[in-house]
Amino acid sequence: MSAVIELTGITKRFPGVIANDNVNLVVERGEIHAICGENGAGKSTLMKILYGMQQADEGTMKVDGEVVAFNSPTDAIDAGIGMVHQHFMLADQLTVLENVVLGAEPVRAGGAINFKEAKAHLSAVGADYGLTIDPDDMVETLEVGERQRVEIIKVLYRGAQILILDEPTAVLVPQEVEALFENMRELKAGGATILFIDHKLDEVLEISDSITILRQGKTVASMKNDGVTASDLAELMVGSELPSPETAESTVTDHVALSLRDVTVVDDDDRSVVENINLTIHKGEILGIAGVEGNGQAELVDAIIGTASVSKGVVELLGTDITSMSVRKRRESGIAYVPEDRHREGLMLEAPLWENAALGHQTQKPYGSRWFMNRAGTRAQTELIREQFDVRTPNVDVSAHALSGGNQQKLIIGRELTSAPSLLLAAHPTRGIDVGAQAAVWEQIRNARKAGLATLLISADLDELIGLSDTIVVMLRGRMVARLSPSEVTPRDLGAYMTGAATQDTSSPDTSSPDTSSPDTAGR
Amino acid sequence: MARLQKLHDVPAWIRWPVYALLGIFLLTVVQSITGTERLTQVSTSREMLRWAVPIFLAGLGGLFSERAGVVNIGLEGMLILGMWFGAWGSIEYGAWWGLVIGMAGGGLGGLLHAIATVTFQVDHIISGVAINILAPAITRYLSDEIWASPTTSPRTTSVGDWDVPFLAGGTIFGWESPDVLLDIGKAEWWFVSDVADLIRGLLRGTHWVAIIAILLVPATTWLVWRTRFGLRLRIAGENPQAGEAQGINIIRYKYVAVVISGALAGLGGAFISTELSGLFQGGNSAGRGFIGLAALIFGNWRPGGVLAGALLFGYVFGLDLKDLDGTASHALLLVNTVVLGAVLLWAVKRRRTTDAVLAGILGSGAFIWWLSADAVPSWWSNILPYVLVLLVLVFFSQRLRAPAKLGEPYRKGS
Ligand SMILES: Nc1ncnc2c1ncn2[C@@H]1O[C@H](COP(=O)(O)OP(=O)(O)OP(=O)(O)O)[C@@H](O)[C@H]1O
Ligand SMILES: [Mg+2]
């Protein structure tokens, strides 16, 4: 075997932080090489440097034994490198085909894109690696897993032999992760080299041949994956034991915090995306919702927070009907919200951290009042969140886009949990957060639960869902199809309910009419 | 519902003429009720086209810029620059050169907008407004310097117009062909003659620039949706970071798009001064750059839609021009009533209560106004295009799709 990538002494500084500090990385040809490390360790930065999106301040890069200097992704693409980013880089309103060919369009004389040839090439690439996708679909209609497939095909389409996948599994459910790993093995068999980043250590151990660990911008270890255990890795990454999301004794009370009665939400085309949902969350209870993305969970959350209107049914918070209350009123009456897409709904990327910390709570103490923001109070509160939730940043004046993905997430969690909410809507709260910080977030949620917080938890991480929840309900095609007790269910079972392979007679009138299951999915 | 769905599957070149015929049918019916004749006269559609061309060119300019993510409220200013430079070029170098130089003048305005917004990240609206303020001032100064009159130029030359043979009596090599539409129009057949008249207005004395403008619809569709250039231009407006990650020089595409945008608005301006007025005159733009922007939104950022919007707005303005007693615009109120009634039905069917109530109130308002007055004041037709845009935004905004990153600052490597 020969080294296909050799990075030596890579250093990259940003104002106030050293993202990479003399990093060394050697990747053998044809291997799957995992990069691990806590949030802000510099993994994404290192990969962006290798992909030519950012330039190192110091250090040399060798690809295939030759020294290279990449000024833009074009150079890296020419050298056979492709990258799938932590935050997807797709245009929603373009088709799959358009997204894939972008930058490598086959053209006829005159500049017209040869879509026929492009399609043929795309399906050839797809067939080679067992990735199927309809090239004419609009990206906005795709599920997350499919989007990821588009991203991977995009890279393969250019004939990349070296693939960089930045946290590819963060947004996937277990079945999709399996499929992804299958694809990765095929790619490897075809001679490709894969570099990938992941916070889930069991996944790393399952798929990788070698592992490199970064900590505070430095390489702390690089090893072959044999005989290594998850706790070894955790020890190296964060210097502590592996956490688990086990919930302590039940704290569920009799006081109803949130109650939904017959809630139905329809989309623009009048199809129900959430149908006749009945559920109750008590103070001190965590209710987990399991489901493959796109089965109505997001719309259900939208209906509770108020960004989607309820076409039928009632939403009650602490006994008050909030069905037609404005979003701000709902926030002020104690709903905290961790959105599923931190970039779209959670942050203003161009604004400083302290402004982001006030987002959604700007009319409440200590951030401000009805008319004015309280700068000093907001900044102090931001510092508090930073400390309590370990948000790694040089100061609170940097803009949110300068934070690593996991630290952005921690800021959002901190903002929501410190607002003393009565109801927390948390969609994938630990998505992209490292194992150490994950434990801290779980701890915070548990403490809040003990103090009487009601939580609606959506998570693709089934261990987290099972470990934290007091009750789990499964959503499929907008309806509740099962209600399970976390102590009696395994991730496997849950997966079966989520895909509809297993069913449960929930014996409530709202889920027992199977006849109307087609209209909401048939048109897709 | 299912039938509507089917209508959507019909190819656009059949669908649009069907819509147009439906519209004319409505006008004919209203005309029969109200007694006015202007709604379907030859001169009405001729005026419509004359108004629509600059609106459309400005709107199409807006399409290029906004598809690349740059809001272009400076179209009005670029159109004014085109008016002046078009007139100047036409006087100095001849009619066709006038158009080219007018485009260059507008393109210069576009370049300024690109430098401000793309390179220096100035807010797009602020830069656009600045250009709108700057353009009349510059043209005033230049007129004063060159023509010794701040507001008007000498007569310009024009590239002229064309009559379509057979349909509208055009000549072929000196032989005068029959004028079929004229004969049909004269026959006074209900509806058929109205259609003939309206079409004849488009085909007789058709400005060459109008013909070019129509051809720009398929040309733009091809360029923006079928070519590599177009795909990269669109990614600049949809997700520039994604484009950058594929090695595309987003900044270059934004520049090119905004300059094209200015050039098209400039062509619209040159058309106004050299073809319509026959001279440069300050204030002659009559806000058509702004209305172009309205047509762009109305048309959902698509070339065919922009044309439809421009024709609709052109119709309202054109009708008003010959409507000194205000009776034709008055008849238009009845048209509004019917259209709002249709919106009401649509809203009821979709169970959109607020929309239905609003359409009902507005529709009955229009009807009551129509009943209670014999004429409408001209300010009404002046604001009607904007009212139309507002209504479209109110009722159909969920159907409208602006480019995802329209107006957002873009910085390389972030
Ligand atoms: N554009 C930028 N400007 C300023 N600082 C940045 C920028 N990008 C990254 N950083 C900083 O560099 C450090 C490393 O960030 P990076 O995104 O590489 O972390 P990471 O290892 O990918 O973390 P995560 O697991 O959370 O994604 C962080 O401290 C981050 O704040
Ligand atoms: Mg990262």
Q: Please tell me the number of the ligand nearest to residue A46's CA.
A: 1
Place of tokens 């991730």: A491
Question: Looking at this predicted complex, what is its ipTM?
Answer: 0.87
Whether B289 contacts B80, CB under 8 Å? yes
| Binary contact (A102, B409; C-beta < 8 A) | no
- On the question of pLDDT at A130 being above 80, the answer is no
Taking all residues of chain A, what is their mean pLDDT, rounded to a whole number? Answer: 87
From chain B, pick out residues whose CB is under 8 angstroms from the CB of A350.
Answer: 409
Closest residue of chain A to B405, computed from CA coordinates? A91
**CA A27, CA A81: separation in Å to the nearest integer?**
13
**For ligand 1, mutation pick of A13, A14, A409 (most atoms within 8 Å of CB):** A14
Question: How many angstroms is it from A436 CA to the middle of ligand 2?
Answer: 15
Residue-by-residue pLDDT tens, chain B, 414 positions: 444 455 566 777 788 888 888 988 998 888 888 878 888 888 888 999 999 999 999 999 999 999 999 999 999 999 999 999 999 999 999 999 999 999 999 999 999 999 999 999 999 999 999 999 999 999 999 999 999 988 889 999 988 888 888 788 788 888 888 888 888 888 888 888 888 888 888 888 889 999 999 999 999 999 999 999 999 999 999 999 999 988 899 999 999 999 999 999 999 999 999 999 999 998 889 889 999 999 999 899 999 999 999 999 999 888 877 777 778 888 888 988 999 999 899 888 877 788 899 999 999 999 999 999 888 887 887 788 778 878 877 887 777 889 999 988 888 765
**CA B309, CA A1: separation in Å to the nearest integer?**
65
- Concatenate the DSSP letters of all residues of A311-345 into one string: SEEEEEETTEE-TT--HHHHHHTTEEEE-S-IIII
Whether A503 contacts A473, CB under 8 Å? no
- On the question of pLDDT at A1 being above 60, the answer is no
How distant is the Cα of A190 from the closest Cα of chain B, in angstroms?
Answer: 23
Instruction: Return the HEC string of A393-426.
Output: CCCCCCEHHHCCHHHHHHHHHHHHHCCCCCEEEE
How distant is the Cα of B376 from the closest Cα of chain A, in angstroms?
Answer: 38
Question: Looking at the complex, does the CB of residue A111 fall below 8 Å from at least one CB of chain B?
Answer: yes
| Binary contact (A350, B409; C-beta < 8 A) | yes
Question: How many angstroms is it from A427 CA to the middle of ligand 1?
Answer: 23
pLDDT for the residue A511: 38
The tally of CA atoms less than 13 A away on the side-chain side of residue B30 is 24
Question: How does pLDDT run across A62-83, given as a tens digit for each residue?
Answer: 999 999 999 988 899 999 999 9
- On the question of pLDDT at A512 being above 60, the answer is no
Partner residues linked to A163 by β-bridges: A82, A194
Question: Looking at the complex, does the CB of residue B245 fall below 8 Å from at least one CB of chain A?
Answer: yes
| Binary contact (A103, B413; C-beta < 8 A) | no
**For ligand 1, mutation pick of A25, A53, A85, A403 (most atoms within 8 Å of CB):** A403
**CA A347, CA A412: separation in Å to the nearest integer?**
8
Question: Looking at the complex, does the CB of residue A92 fall below 8 Å from at least one CB of chain B?
Answer: yes
Q: Whose CA is nearest to atom 4 of ligand 1?
A: A402
pLDDT for the residue B216: 97
| Binary contact (A89, B228; C-beta < 8 A) | no
From chain B, pick out residues whose CB is under 8 angstroms from the CB of A83.
Answer: 245
Is the distance from the beta carbon of residue A403 to the nearest atom of ligand 1 less than 6 Å? yes
Q: Whose CA is nearest to atom 2 of ligand 1?
A: A402
- On the question of pLDDT at A318 being above 60, the answer is yes
pLDDT for the residue A431: 86
Please state the atom number of ligand 1 nearest to the C-alpha of residue A20: 14
pLDDT for the residue B401: 87
Whether A179 contacts A127, CB under 8 Å? no
pLDDT for the residue B8: 63
The pLDDT-based confidence of A522 (bands split at 50, 70, 90) is very low
**CA B314, CA B324: separation in Å to the nearest integer?**
17
Cα dihedral sign, A496-A499-A502-A503: positive
Place of tokens 């004939």: A159
Which phi and psi (to 5°) does residue A10 adopt?
-70, 125
- Give the range among A44-48, A323-327, B392-396 with minimum mean pLDDT: B392-396
**CA B233, CA B240: separation in Å to the nearest integer?**
9
- On the question of pLDDT at A238 being above 90, the answer is no
How distant, in Å, are the alpha carbons of A257, A280, A282, A310 from that of A319? 7, 11, 11, 18
| Binary contact (B234, A101; C-beta < 8 A) | no
From chain B, pick out residues whose CB is under 8 angstroms from the CB of A53.
Answer: 244-245, 413
Question: Looking at the complex, does the CB of residue B226 fall below 8 Å from at least one CB of chain A?
Answer: yes
The pLDDT-based confidence of A309 (bands split at 50, 70, 90) is confident
- On the question of pLDDT at A519 being above 90, the answer is no
Question: How does pLDDT run across A347-368, given as a tens digit for each residue?
Answer: 998 899 999 999 999 988 889 8
| Binary contact (A85, B245; C-beta < 8 A) | yes
**CA B256, CA B252: separation in Å to the nearest integer?**
6
pLDDT for the residue A521: 38
How distant, in Å, are the alpha carbons of A106, A143, A252, B76 from that of A168? 28, 14, 35, 47
**Pairing between β-strand A335-338 and β-strand A423-427 as defined by DSSP bridges:** parallel
- On the question of pLDDT at A510 being above 60, the answer is no
Closest residue to A102, CB basis, from B226, B243, B403: B243
Partner residues linked to A335 by β-bridges: A423
Contacts of A500 (CB under 8 A, 6+ apart): A476, A481
pLDDT for the residue A242: 63
Highest average pLDDT, of A28-32, A238-242, B199-203, comes from A28-32
Closest residue of chain B to A92, computed from CA coordinates? B238
The pLDDT-based confidence of A513 (bands split at 50, 70, 90) is very low
Domains of chain B from N-terminus onward: 35-160+206-322 (1.10.3470), 164-204 (no CATH)
pLDDT above 70 coverage of chain A, percent: 94
How distant is the Cα of A154 from the closest Cα of chain B, in angstroms?
Answer: 9
Is the distance from the beta carbon of residue A43 to the nearest atom of ligand 1 less than 6 Å? yes
**CA B296, CA B389: separation in Å to the nearest integer?**
10
Closest residue of chain B to A111, computed from CA coordinates? B227
Q: Radius of gyration of chain B from Cα atoms?
A: 22
**CA A91, CA B234: separation in Å to the nearest integer?**
9
| Binary contact (B234, A91; C-beta < 8 A) | yes
* Burial classification of residue A278, based on how many CB atoms lie within 10 Å of its CB (0-12 exposed, 13-18 middle, 19 or more buried): middle
pLDDT for the residue B89: 96
Question: How many angstroms is it from A40 CA to the middle of ligand 2?
Answer: 7
How distant is the Cα of A101 from the closest Cα of chain B, in angstroms?
Answer: 9
pLDDT for the residue A112: 92
For an interface test with B, the pick among A89, A100, A108, A271 (most B C-beta atoms closer than 10 Å) comes out as A89
Give residue B186's Cα distance to chain centre. 30
Question: Looking at the complex, does the CB of residue B11 fall below 8 Å from at least one CB of chain A?
Answer: no
Domains of chain A from N-terminus onward: 3-238 (3.40.50.300), 251-334+421-524 (3.40.50.300), 344-420 (no CATH)
- On the question of pLDDT at A518 being above 80, the answer is no
